[in-house]
Every structure is written in structure tokens, then in C-alpha cells.
Structure 1
Amino acid sequence: MFGLAGAAHAAPELGGRPFSPPGDEVVMPDGWDKKKIQRPDGADLALAIDQQLYPALLPLVQAFSRQTGLKVAIQEGTCGVAAGALSERSADITGMCCPPGPLDRLPGVRYHTIGISAIALIVHPANPLTDVTMDQARRLFGGQTRSWADLPVSGMVAGPASDVRAVTRLHCKPRPGHWRLLLDNENQFSQEMHEVPAIRDMIAEVARSRTAIGYETLWHIADNARLGVVKPLKLNGLDPADRKSLAQGRYPLYRVMNITSWSGTAADPRAAKLAAWLVDNAPTLDPAFAIVPAQELRSRGWSFDGDEIVAPPK
């Protein structure tokens, strides 16, 4: 089956837009903007942080708490949990691994970029392939390339045992960037794709199937290595671990790590201080998280609207 209508051998269209316009704003019910933040009992500040960003930021949050004496409640979740905390006004700061979509731009919410992290294409270690072009990757995930035998370097011969098994995790569908940089929407992926709900499932599925191909950030590949070993591929000749090519905007697949703060009734100067602390200290994050901080991205020509990254280098 093919992921797109039209000629069987037509390449899919390019991926979707990397960012949404920062000027968009959702209209909320009357009185919503008057509500104060509802925090857990005993907490001075409340945070809801996506699982991609949580382990990187936790040491910084803990250091801030020790230095200021503030009690900070921090919840690890998903981008959906973070978005819910915004709409419910139950967090002073949220964190997401995707750029905000139009529905995330609530009145009074400001976005601050921590950095970006490469998304690596991954295969089973038994697959001798080491490098694919973006066009080849789109064909593999879109269903135009159905057999690894069509890529001679794979060493596989035609037959059912060489059928490509595209493993996907199509999270955060309303938001731009992330997997949409590969293929813009779920209809462009192969109808025979195997969709998984969680990061751990992505790693496990690719690790157990010689014909699988998937994707994930380098940190979560390493963090879930106990579930099975996978091999990152170069993309267009670029290693996802090469932070210079990522910082320059040449490596094409990445997550955007943002946090939020509030203006208006929900604003708290203590939360504003913590948000600034996290952004300022992004260059000190453990290199294992493979996050290129906003400071370096600015120097490489990425465009920002205030603290929020809004476009790659031209």
C-alpha cells in the first residue's frame, strides 16, 4: 500500500512547517484570564514538563529550589499534559518537546526556547545500512520503498523477509515540527506502518525486528537501551550526534524544547525568575541530553521572537 495518492513511484511532498506563527492567540471563555494558578498544597511553584525535557531540567530546578528556598512541585508527563496544565492554569511553567501549535497560544502564555535536539532515524543493528537521504527516508516511511532489497547496501534480497517495517509514534499531531519534518501528516505515512504509543515501545519494536526503521532522540535511545539495541543512521550524510550540523540548521530532523511563563493575572515573579534561570543555564545541561541551547542557535542565525525560536537559519 502507498501512503499517498497518485503514481506509485512518486516521492512524497516535503515535510510540514517547522513552527507556527507566534502572533496567533486562542480565544478563551470569559473570566479564564482572571484565574490564578492552582498549585498542589504546600508548593510555591508548579511545573508540568514533557518527558523529553524533564530529565534535563530537573537538576536545574532542584538547584534553583535549594538556592531560593522555594518549594517547587514538578510533574513529568507529555506535551498533552503540559498543554492541559496551561488551559487549566495549574502550572506556573510548562515544558514541551514540540513547537507550540495555534491551540497552544493561550492569552498571557509566553514561550522560551531551551534548545533543540536531533531526531535520529534508527534501524536494527543487523541492517548494514548506515546512511540514507531524506528522500529515501520519506519513501521508506511513506511506503514507496516497500522492500529493503530496493536499497542494495542493505544486503537483503527481495521477498517477505525483506519488507520494510516502518515504526511510527505520531504524537502531538496538532503541533508543527518534530516527525512532521519527515512527512507532514499521518496520511502520508504507509498504510502498513506500525504505530506505537510510547518511546519505550519505539525502541523495543525496532530492536526486535531486522527490517524495522523508526526514530527517536539520542537521549531516549540511550536511556532505553535496556529494551534493546538500535542503530542510528546518518541522514543526508550527517550524523545526528553532530551538534554542529544541527546547530547550523543542516541536520533536518529535530525536536524543539520550549518552556512557558505567564503574563497577566497568572504571572508570578518567582516563576519568571525560574524560567529565566532555566534558559540562562541551558548551556550547562548534561551533554548526554544532546540539546543545542538557544544561545548557540542565536549565534548560528536561527530566528527568535523574544525568547521563542520561530525559524531555522536561512
Structure 2
Amino acid sequence: MGMGAKQALACWWVILATWAVLLPTAAVGAMQAEKFSDPNLTAKVPQSWVEQPVKHEDRYADADLVLALGQQTYPVFREFIEDYAKQNHLNIVIQPGTCGISAGKLLRKSVDLAAFCCPPARTDRFPGTRFHSLGIAPIALIVHPDNPVNSVTLEEARQIYQGSAPTWSDVKPRVPSILERPIQPVGRLHCKIRPGHWRALLPTEEKFSAKLYEVGVIPDMISQVARNPAAIGWETPLMVRHYSAKGKVKMLNIDNMDPTDTRHALAGDWPFYRTYHLVTWAHDSKTNREATKLVAYLRNKIEAIHQEIGFVPPSKLKQAGWRFLGDELVAEPGPR
């Protein structure tokens, strides 16, 4: 072999070695999605909106506070808020909804406090609002109780939801033949404009398999998985318990980590989780002072019962190096 041929062969080996390093890295990068938005960027609104006062809907004219809670926060906090209202002789209206409904009510300036179960998008950060984080909770992968699989890797979960692992036997070759039928992935692709949550599994809606069965609400997620031995879905352990009447499901370990052990989420190792926030108005008024007191009450309540409800509270997140700006959780642990 001549010198020129040897040099050409050496070059090809360098190129192949580089590809071997870069391709897996690129694949990992392609699956990474933004988990938090920039807290310094706010929604663009006209000055007339900024000057507009907060005004309750006419039907709530006698309310001391009007709250908008979400699918996750309404079941958890409603009774606590009702108890607080009785103790403090307040007329508090609690409206169920979603993150999108919360954003809409903030835009209309019709509520004093709104809840989000996702990190806010820029369009949620209206001028004059403050975000108060209540903590995070791991999102578990759930399957039918008869499914013999108890654990998957994060990569296997992604293959399932991308459609590249069409049956459970493709994921776990030794599972019984009953699961050789096609996997039915179930997803709730809520809050598509917001970072975090399901985007840590697959970063965009387009990455999911065309066979994804989409549901709009949490009870439907539980019932769909509970009725199909080949199905897989996701939800927080707290919501799995809360909606247990909709059917029995089993939570999977991911990379040998138990979703009910919140130490994995605290360490930043659990791949996807919900973040919970309450939003108040920043300007000083009697109503906003009452809203701020309620936020403090709920944060203290979570600190006291966080193990029972599967939350990682703000105090523990701060101790573990999660980054806050004021009361708001804005980043995972890591270099600034």
C-alpha cells in the first residue's frame, strides 16, 4: 500500500471515529428540551392593559379572593384552601381549570391567584405578576397491572413513544407472549407552549408515534391504561392514587429508579416531573396581601406534608442547589 493510500485510510479512520463519538451525542441532544423559560422575559401587552385594574367577574363581586386552579392543583389544594377560608373568615372562590385557563384569566385580570403545573412560558409572564413555586413531583410511567414489565430505561421509554419498539417483546424479549401484540402508547400532550413535563421524554409533538392515543384529562389517562394490558401512559403518583377509582395501574421504575422515591427527583436524576406554581399580582393592595398570605399558607402546608403527597418542596430544592429567582424555581442544579 502506497503512502497516499495509507494516509487516505488513516483519514477515513479518523472520520469514522469522530462519527462514533458525535452521533450518539447528537442523538442525546436531539432529545433534550427546554425545561424552564427565561424568567426575565415577559409577555408583550399594551400599556392600557398594564394600567387596567384586576376586576372579578360580576358573579364573584362579593368574593375576597378568586382563584384559578388546574387539573393537578385543584384536587390537592381545594380542601386546604376551603379550610383556610373558614379559619380566616374569607369568601374564596376556587375555579377548576388548566394552565391555559389560568393564563387566560390572568390576561383578563379576573383572578387574584392562578395555578400552573408546568414551568411558565414567556406568554404566561404578564407584567406585574409574581410566580411562587410550590415544588416538583416526579411523573411516572404507568402500565396495566398484568404487564410483567416492572422497569424500563429512559431510552426504552423513548423508543416506545417514538414507535421504534412496536411490542413489549421488542423492549423486553423475555416477557410472556400475551404482550407480543402492539404497544398502545397513551399521552396527554398538554401545555404545548410550555417547557418541561412530557417534553423531557420527547421534545416535540412530532417526535411521538402516529399510534399515540391522546387524552385530554388525567382521569382518561388512568382509565385508558387500566383497561388495556398493552398500554403505557404517564402521570404523577399522587394523581394515580387520587383517580384510582378509574382503574388500577402499575408504575414503572426508570433506569432502576422508583418514581415514588422523590430523592431521585431532588438529585436531578428523575427525567421528567411537574413543577407547581402559584401566581399573584405584585402591586400592593389589601386583596394582594391576602393572596400572598394564602400562598405562604400553602407553601408551609406542602413543607409539612410533602412526603404524603409526593412533592419535593422548595426548601429541599434550594438545599440541593436548584436555582430560584425570588420565590420562583427557574433551573435544575448545575453551573450558572
Q: Is the 8 A contact 1:92 1:271 kept in 2?
A: yes
Displacement, 1:154?
Answer: 5.6
Could you list the per-position Cα deviations for residues 228-267 of structure 1 after superposition, in whole angstroms to 9, with x for gaps in the alignment? Answer: 1111000111111001112121112100010011123787
Q: Report the RMSD for the aligned CA atoms in angstroms.
A: 2.0
Map 1:112-191 onto structure 2 (within 5 A): 112-152=132-172, 155-157=175-177, 162-191=181-210
Q: Distance in 2 between matches of 1:99 and 1:87?
A: 17
Q: Distance in 1 between matches of 2:292 and 2:178?
A: 58
Which segment is superposed worse, 76-85 or 284-293? Answer: 284-293
Which segment is superposed worse, 274-283 or 111-120? Answer: 274-283
Displacement, 1:125?
Answer: 1.2
Letter in 1 for 2:184: R
Q: Which structure has the higher relative contact order (CA within 8 Å, separation 6+)?
A: 1
Q: Is the 8 A contact 2:306 2:312 kept in 1?
A: no
Q: Is the 8 A contact 1:149 1:158 kept in 2?
A: no
TM-score by length of 1: 0.91
Displacement, 1:140?
Answer: 0.4
Q: Is the 8 A contact 2:64 2:91 kept in 1?
A: yes
Compared CA separation, residues 113 and 241, structure 1 to 2 (3 A): same
Compared CA separation, residues 11 and 191, structure 1 to 2 (3 A): farther
Per the alignment, residue 259 of structure 1 pairs with 278
Map 1:1-314 onto structure 2 (within 5 A): 13-39=30-56, 40-152=60-172, 155-157=175-177, 162-264=181-283, 268-285=288-305, 287-314=307-334
Displacement, 1:153?
Answer: 5.2
Which segment is superposed worse, 224-233 or 262-271? Answer: 262-271
Q: Distance in 1 between matches of 2:178 and 2:309?
A: 39
Displacement, 1:38?
Answer: 1.9
Q: Distance in 1 between matches of 2:101 and 2:306?
A: 25
Letter in 2 for 1:240: P
Compared CA separation, residues 80 and 204, structure 1 to 2 (3 A): same
Runs of 5+ in structure 2 lacking a partner? 1-26
Runs of 5+ in structure 1 lacking a partner? 1-9
Secondary structure of 1:82 counterpart? helix
Q: Distance in 1 between matches of 2:83 and 2:307?
A: 18
Q: Is the 8 A contact 1:122 1:216 kept in 2?
A: yes
Larger radius of gyration: 2
TM-score by length of 2: 0.85
Letter in 2 for 1:82: S
Displacement, 1:11?
Answer: 7.9
Q: Distance in 1 between matches of 2:241 and 2:174?
A: 24
Letter in 1 for 2:293: K
Secondary structure of 1:173 counterpart? coil
Secondary structure of 1:291 counterpart? coil
Secondary structure of 2:209 counterpart? coil
Compared CA separation, residues 293 and 25, structure 1 to 2 (3 A): same
Greater helix content? 2
Per the alignment, residue 5 of structure 1 pairs with none
Could you list the per-position Cα deviations for residues 260-285 of structure 1 after superposition, in whole angstroms to 9, with x for gaps in the alignment? Answer: 11123787222222223222332123
Letter in 2 for 1:126: D
Compared CA separation, residues 297 and 230, structure 1 to 2 (3 A): same
Which segment is superposed worse, 256-265 or 286-295? Answer: 286-295
Compared CA separation, residues 55 and 152, structure 1 to 2 (3 A): closer
Length, aligned pairs only? 304
Letter in 2 for 1:35: Q
Compared CA separation, residues 12 and 141, structure 1 to 2 (3 A): farther
Displacement, 1:291?
Answer: 1.4
Letter in 2 for 1:260: V
Compared CA separation, residues 253 and 154, structure 1 to 2 (3 A): farther
Letter in 1 for 2:31: L
Q: Distance in 1 between matches of 2:163 and 2:171?
A: 14
Q: Is the 8 A contact 2:132 2:278 kept in 1?
A: yes
